[in-house]
Structure 1
Amino acid sequence: MHKSRFDISVLITTSEARINGSRLNESNVELFKACAILEEAGVCSGWIVGLNRMSSEKMLLMILAAWMLDAIPWPLASERFYDQCDVVVDGLIILRGATPNAHPELKEVALLHSTSGSTAAEKVVCRSTDSLIAEAEGYRKGMNLGPRDCVGIPLPLFHSLGSGVAISALLSGCNIYLNKKKLPSAIAKDLDSGLVNKIVLTPALAILLTQTRYRDHACVDKILIGAGRVDEKLASAVYHRFGVMPNVGYGSTETGGSFIGDSGIGKPADGVEIVWPMKGHQGELVLRMPTPVLGYVHDKLRTSRIWRTGDIVYRSEKQDIIYIGRRDSESIRLNGRFLSLNEFHLILKGMSRISGYIFVVIHDEGGGERLCLAVESDTILPKEIADHFLDVRSSETFFIVVVKQFPKNEMGKLDREALIKVIRFGEDRTDDFN
């Protein structure tokens, strides 16, 4: 039986779930205030409620309040999608859409999320109630979550990792600790003191925590690191600083957390099956999820449980899943036609003086599109890169921009919008190369 948005709110408010020690039941004053704010804004069943510029605690309360009103919450990182919301709570400001209305086509949707945009154009993902509950079960077993646990979540909730663990912890009856102080030293102190016994981190934040001053024997029993690779060096540093080997987590915004374990990208969560690759093979990771992956807003919602992740992995005979990289696009769409970039990918992968690259489509004021190759390097010049392409017989036309370091967002991933700004206004570039 499918759960409704209201059903999720009931599961949380009737459990032991707490935020910073305060029970999320009917007597919670802050939850009552959140509901009152949405009711005064006229929020009705099926409305999309954008949430931006507020503390993580308030955002969680607003998400729960939206479900109590059978609305669809959408944690936002910027103003970019305000025009797609029926109501936006922007800090203390309430913004109404031009024609707010219910969205019957989204009746199965419990939460909207924007993808990070680090590997492709940002999209808006639909997550169902059943998907959130299945994800919570995976995190509950993978992190051994229960009412006695205090789970630290020093990550932004507009990212699916932060909100996924937060909602899962609430559904598991945990206490969520949301420290407003984001300094690594403050987070490490919470772990050392035993205030927090479980925590979710990104690799970038985990590195900073391993460099904090050692105070006492840490009382943490579970550290989950997701949204990036965890190599042996980082895992060892975490162990030596906090006394536990970290778990790794893997998932996409479209599916939520689907793998968790102690090596590679982890093991499939309960109900998640690996369709491809077979044991002993490498290929795109294709999953069969416990519930349908709905897909994206403005597309016809999917009903299939099969999800192609776009990630290339190696699956060993022992079932270890090793992340290799993103699937290379065989073509890119530019001004209505598809261009092959395979030869350029092969050359770029063989260049030792670059640490990363990405092809980006730039829209100009006249409505046309230009292709840019953005390269991350502090030693190479754009013309040197162009010289490597002189023997390539191709119709692709693009310009090359070199930056010392790609801009990153709060999760430590490529900030595509910030990179496009750098591309538009940077000076270290070639003219169109053909």
Structure 2
Amino acid sequence: MIAIRRVLSMVEKYPKAIALTCNHQHTTYEELGRQIHSAALFLRKEGIKENHRVALILPNLPQFPVFFYACESIGAIAVMIHPLTIGSKMKLLCDQSRIDLAVMTDILYPKYRQALKGRRVVLVDGKDALPKSIRSLHFLLPSILTIGTLRYRYQESQGSIEVAQDPQPFILFSSGTQGLNKGIRLRHDTLDALCDQLTRIIDPVPTQDSMFAILPFFHGFGLGISMHTVLALGGRCILIPRLARNTIVPEFLKEKPTYIAAVPQLLRLFLKDPRMHTADLSFVKNVFCGGEATPKKLIEEFNELLRNGHSQAVVQVGYGCTETLTAVCVSDGMADGCGKAFAGNEIIVVDEHGNRCADEQAGEILIHGPILMDGYDGLRDADPFVSMDGKRYFRSADIGKIDANGNLVVLYRRDHLLKINGYFVDPHEIEDAVLSLPDIKEAIALQDEEGRLCLIVSVKQHKRQEDIKKEITGPLETLDRWYRPKRILLIHEFPKNEMKKTDRNALKRLINSRPNGLLAEWSL
């Protein structure tokens, strides 16, 4: 069953149940089905046909699932682009993806008018993405319309949705933590495969369970877990269109979602808010975290928050990548690592010669299963797959191991391994040495342009610099000589990219430019 048929089956089964909640406004499954039909007819009227490409430049608003499933129903290729991408990059991604039509909110269009010049643009109502204090000014926005743009409005229509017999793929972009964002072609049945896999590890109750949909739908984690799996199982998506610290926690406590899917930065945001530490959290059934390395100390702190709030949930860490849609395994929360592969997936670890590694032996992580991408969009020479035993595996470029209990343990990315004075250095050994300290929030080891080993550290609270230096220096001096950083840099906050992951490129620029924003720098 392709993705939209699964959602439409929920429309028929639970028509009056709530599918979407956004700023306390509800959309039932029946209304969602009608809106998908209306959007599909609109796209056809505008000449969008099979294989045409429609950019969805949208935050987590109701229009996102509406237009995503509308594209699938008519055989168009939905291309997901971050709605706050800088203008020059927006133009590059649209050119790279050969966009036929772009759908975005009217409130963002003025910012991207030049980047989208010469393209057909459809504007949807974006007032729900505005801060509440200025939402009433939304009526002023129609004046921004220019030649070449259309305004979409829902129109009641008769009949049922005709689903294309040969659905086209959709395109997500890699998060770009290491450089250029690559377009990744995924089939809609990968969404259903993920949904089937997740039902084996969760116990969803249709029409009652809900997801705090704070992860953006333009990325695989949000699209696969926070949106499609929820709608395909008759749950409710609580849409969070803006990552605003002053509204996220009140929204969370008011709506009481039973599921949370988050990246580490979002767990930190919850922990910082004193309201979370006195709230009843008994409604939380599962908490999934991934997207980047999740420090053990962060897991322990969030688990304590859940326990104090009378929740039975624990943080369950997953592993995956955009090339596999999202997670391919998840821990049970009781042990270290990322758990065992979901049903239908296979995870193996191989050495540099392509031979399978023994338990506890580190090597490259390979992934096989129904969730694999078709390939990179427009990059015909890029082939990240390898065949083994008649199966097609994706080469992740991540280094990990399978422990004695069969759980995957991710160690580091292969391209994160450092070579210092002829020695290979695992940066995680250095980072782990200080992450166990109570005042340390984040730590990353990198090389500067002169080849020196650097450790960048952010702290939780203000302390005397001399005390911080002493606290950090102690465990570093116990490391092997070639593991000891030549430069230690203290900063307020780690820079984050559009997906709220640590921006390693920005950190590299920081250590090479020596900006005034450094709190302190010293050497061992």
Q: What does residue 367 of structure 2 align with?
A: 287
Please list every run of 5 or more consecutive structure 1 residues that lacks an aligned counterpart in the other structure: 100-106, 332-339, 362-369, 381-391, 393-399, 430-434
8 Å contact kept, 1:88–1:96: no
Q: How does 1:373-388 map to 2 (within 5 A)?
A: 376=456
Counterpart amino acid of residue 52 in structure 2: W
- Evaluate the alpha carbon distance shift between residue 280 and residue 419 of structure 1 in structure 2; reply closer, same or farther with a 3 A threshold: closer
1:145 is aligned to 2:204: yes
CA distance in 1, matches of 2:421, 2:41: 55
2:182 aligned to 116, 123, 130, which one? 123
Report deviation, 1:235. 4.2
- Evaluate the alpha carbon distance shift between residue 222 and residue 346 of structure 1 in structure 2; reply closer, same or farther with a 3 A threshold: closer
Report deviation, 1:271. 0.6
CA distance in 2, matches of 1:322, 1:193: 36
Q: How does 1:353-432 map to 2 (within 5 A)?
A: 355-358=443-446, 376=456, 404=491, 406-415=494-503
Q: What does residue 13 of structure 1 align with?
A: 8
2:28 aligned to 23, 26, 32, which one? 23
Counterpart amino acid of residue 19 in structure 1: L
Report deviation, 1:198. 1.4
Q: What does residue 396 of structure 1 align with?
A: none
CA distance in 1, matches of 2:358, 2:7: 39
Q: What does residue 397 of structure 1 align with?
A: none
Counterpart amino acid of residue 234 in structure 1: E
CA distance in 1, matches of 2:196, 2:266: 25
1:82 is aligned to 2:94: yes
1:305 aligned to 389, 392, 408, which one? 392
Q: What does residue 47 of structure 1 align with?
A: 52
1:201 aligned to 243, 262, 265, which one? 262
Counterpart amino acid of residue 12 in structure 1: V
- Evaluate the alpha carbon distance shift between residue 122 and residue 141 of structure 1 in structure 2; reply closer, same or farther with a 3 A threshold: same
CA distance in 2, matches of 1:114, 1:293: 12
Moved more, 166-175 or 15-24: 15-24
CA distance in 2, matches of 1:111, 1:377: 38
If the length of structure 2 is used for normalisation, what is the TM-score?
0.62
1:136 aligned to 187, 195, 205, which one? 195
Q: What does residue 234 of structure 2 align with?
A: 173
8 Å contact kept, 1:288–1:306: yes
1:236 is aligned to 2:303: yes
8 Å contact kept, 2:169–2:188: yes
Please list every run of 5 or more consecutive structure 2 residues that lacks an aligned counterpart in the other structure: 121-165, 350-356, 435-441, 459-464, 470-481, 519-524
2:345 aligned to 253, 268, 272, which one? 272
The percentage of aligned residue pairs carrying the same residue is 21
Q: What does residue 75 of structure 2 align with?
A: 70
Moved more, 174-183 or 205-214: 174-183
8 Å contact kept, 1:190–1:196: no
CA distance in 1, matches of 2:173, 2:456: 25
1:317 is aligned to 2:404: yes
- Evaluate the alpha carbon distance shift between residue 318 and residue 373 of structure 1 in structure 2; reply closer, same or farther with a 3 A threshold: closer
- Evaluate the alpha carbon distance shift between residue 73 and residue 375 of structure 1 in structure 2; reply closer, same or farther with a 3 A threshold: farther
CA distance in 1, matches of 2:416, 2:512: 24
1:250 is aligned to 2:319: yes
1:212 aligned to 274, 283, 295, which one? 274
1:110 is aligned to 2:207: no
CA distance in 1, matches of 2:117, 2:40: 16
Counterpart amino acid of residue 288 in structure 2: L
CA distance in 1, matches of 2:420, 2:45: 53
1:156 aligned to 216, 221, 232, which one? 216
Moved more, 370-379 or 50-59: 370-379
Q: What does residue 291 of structure 2 align with?
A: 227
Counterpart amino acid of residue 290 in structure 1: P
CA distance in 1, matches of 2:457, 2:421: 21
- Evaluate the alpha carbon distance shift between residue 195 and residue 31 of structure 1 in structure 2; reply closer, same or farther with a 3 A threshold: farther
Counterpart amino acid of residue 285 in structure 1: I
Q: What does residue 163 of structure 2 align with?
A: none
RMSD: 4.1
- Evaluate the alpha carbon distance shift between residue 39 and residue 192 of structure 1 in structure 2; reply closer, same or farther with a 3 A threshold: same
CA distance in 2, matches of 1:27, 1:356: 44
Cα deviation digits, residues 134-191 of structure 1 (max 9, x gap): 1121223333334131111112222221111111222222221114464456444455
Moved more, 322-331 or 168-177: 322-331
SS at match of 1:281: coil
Counterpart amino acid of residue 245 in structure 1: V
8 Å contact kept, 2:400–2:410: yes
CA distance in 2, matches of 1:33, 1:423: 52
Moved more, 417-426 or 136-145: 417-426
Counterpart amino acid of residue 73 in structure 2: M
The alignment of Structure 1 onto Structure 2 pairs a total of residues equal to: 384
Moved more, 313-322 or 299-308: 299-308
Counterpart amino acid of residue 66 in structure 2: L
Moved more, 340-349 or 74-83: 340-349
- Evaluate the alpha carbon distance shift between residue 137 and residue 324 of structure 1 in structure 2; reply closer, same or farther with a 3 A threshold: same
Cα deviation digits, residues 76-124 of structure 1 (max 9, x gap): 112141112222113246969779xxxxxxx775221111111343211
Report deviation, 1:296. 0.8
Q: What does residue 335 of structure 1 align with?
A: none
If the length of structure 1 is used for normalisation, what is the TM-score?
0.73
Counterpart amino acid of residue 289 in structure 1: G
Moved more, 230-239 or 75-84: 230-239
SS at match of 1:56: coil
8 Å contact kept, 2:77–2:168: yes
8 Å contact kept, 2:50–2:168: no
SS at match of 1:325: strand
8 Å contact kept, 2:400–2:409: yes
